[in-house]
Structure 1
Amino acid sequence: MNAKFFLLLAVVSAASAQRRPYAYNAPRFSDESFESSEAKYDFQWAVSDDSSSNEFGHQEARDGDDTRGSYYVQLPDGRLQTVKYFVDGDSGYVAEVSYEGEARYPDSYESFESREYRPPRPLYG
């Protein structure tokens, strides 16, 4: 009985699948729609987490083909790395990287393998 039911179900599924032909049509658009809608935006965001010393952010502005922006990150050695950039037509992405501060390193290094994992202590407020 079950075999007959599944056979009937397979035949009905195959028959219904054949009744719905699928045709793919390429998207249609005109070149005029791209000319009239030039990109224009401006955004900025930043993260500052005192507990982990994470400091980073990004800002960018674009008006048509003119794109300018910068981003920064606080490096583990204590320096602040800033990248200022712009897009120069066919030359592409042009960046200027700068650093603020002086690199500081601990007196002794421990390898990652020698460090013991300790779960964070719970904070109760």
Structure 2
Amino acid sequence: MAYRFIVLAALVAVAKAGILGAPAVYAPGAPLTARAYAAPAYAHAPVAYAAAPAYAKVAAPVAVDTDYDPNPSYSYAYDIQDALTGDSKGQQESRQGDVVQGSYSLTEPDGTRRTVEYTADPVNGFNAVVHREPAVVAKAVVAAPAYAKVAAPVAYAHPAAYGAPIAAKAYLG
């Protein structure tokens, strides 16, 4: 809705400034090549740009917050070890005045462990040192096979007599 209003306002401003040409004036019945068109009439003078605008200075000072702590301090930490999803991360940070120290660590998708130790202060800015530990692969422990004592094998006796072999007749057909 605002877009329509802006477009309408721009069209009104352009028409009011005389930038849009006047309607074409032509003699009725004259051939198309003989018709004369009026040039647009500009009713305004060129725009003169002024220097940068002057701003008024604020005389009243800004109110000072009375709850300002000149020596802020805090400390926090968390650690997540989720065996179900494999999520492993943690962070600890502390602040004393304008100096912040902390670290965070996480296990990346390839299994490596990334640990970032950082400090921040007004003199040196933010500084971080990144450590990467190789992936810890849990070796599968193969238990020694458990052999059960089995009784001595039972002797298998073949049948004493087999039936007589079937005679095969040749088909000569």
Q: Given residue 90 of structure 2, which amino acid in structure 1 is its aligned partner?
A: G
Does residue 44 (structure 1) correspond to residue 74 (structure 2)? The answer is: no
Pick which of 78-87 and 93-102 moved more. 93-102
Q: 1:77 to 1:103 in 2, by over 3 A?
A: farther
Question: Which residue is 1:79 aligned to?
Answer: 112
Q: Given residue 91 of structure 1, which amino acid in structure 2 is its aligned partner?
A: N
Question: Which residue is 1:59 aligned to?
Answer: 92
Question: Which residue is 1:30 aligned to?
Answer: 64
4+ residue runs over 6 A deviation: none
Deviation at 1:81, TM superposition (A): 0.2
Deviation at 1:103, TM superposition (A): 8.7
Q: 1:50 to 1:103 in 2, by over 3 A?
A: closer
Which residue of the other structure, out of 96, 99, 112, is the alignment partner of 2:129? 96
Matched residues in 1 for 2:70 and 2:63: separation?
Answer: 13
- Percent identity between matched residues is 30
Which secondary structure does the structure 2 equivalent of 1:87 belong to? strand
Question: Which residue is 2:101 aligned to?
Answer: 68
Runs (5+) with no aligned partner, structure 1: 1-27, 105-125
Q: 1:62 to 1:99 in 2, by over 3 A?
A: same
Q: Given residue 64 of structure 2, which amino acid in structure 1 is its aligned partner?
A: S
* Structure having the higher Rg: 2
Q: With CA pairs under 8 Å and 6+ residues apart, which has the higher RCO, 1 or 2?
A: 1
Which secondary structure does the structure 2 equivalent of 1:52 belong to? coil
TM-score w.r.t. length of structure 2: 0.39
Pick which of 55-64 and 89-98 moved more. 89-98
Matched residues in 1 for 2:96 and 2:63: separation?
Answer: 23
Preserved CA contact (<8 Å) 1:39 1:64: yes
Q: Given residue 77 of structure 2, which amino acid in structure 1 is its aligned partner?
A: Q
* Structure 1 or 2: more helix by fraction: 1
* Structure 1 or 2: more strand by fraction: 1
Q: How many equivalent residue pairs? A: 78
TM-score w.r.t. length of structure 1: 0.53
Q: CA RMSD in A?
A: 2.8
Matched residues in 1 for 2:80 and 2:135: separation?
Answer: 22
Matched residues in 2 for 1:99 and 1:48: separation?
Answer: 18
Q: Given residue 78 of structure 1, which amino acid in structure 2 is its aligned partner?
A: G
Runs (5+) with no aligned partner, structure 2: 1-61, 138-173
Matched residues in 2 for 1:60 and 1:29: separation?
Answer: 32
Preserved CA contact (<8 Å) 1:77 1:103: no
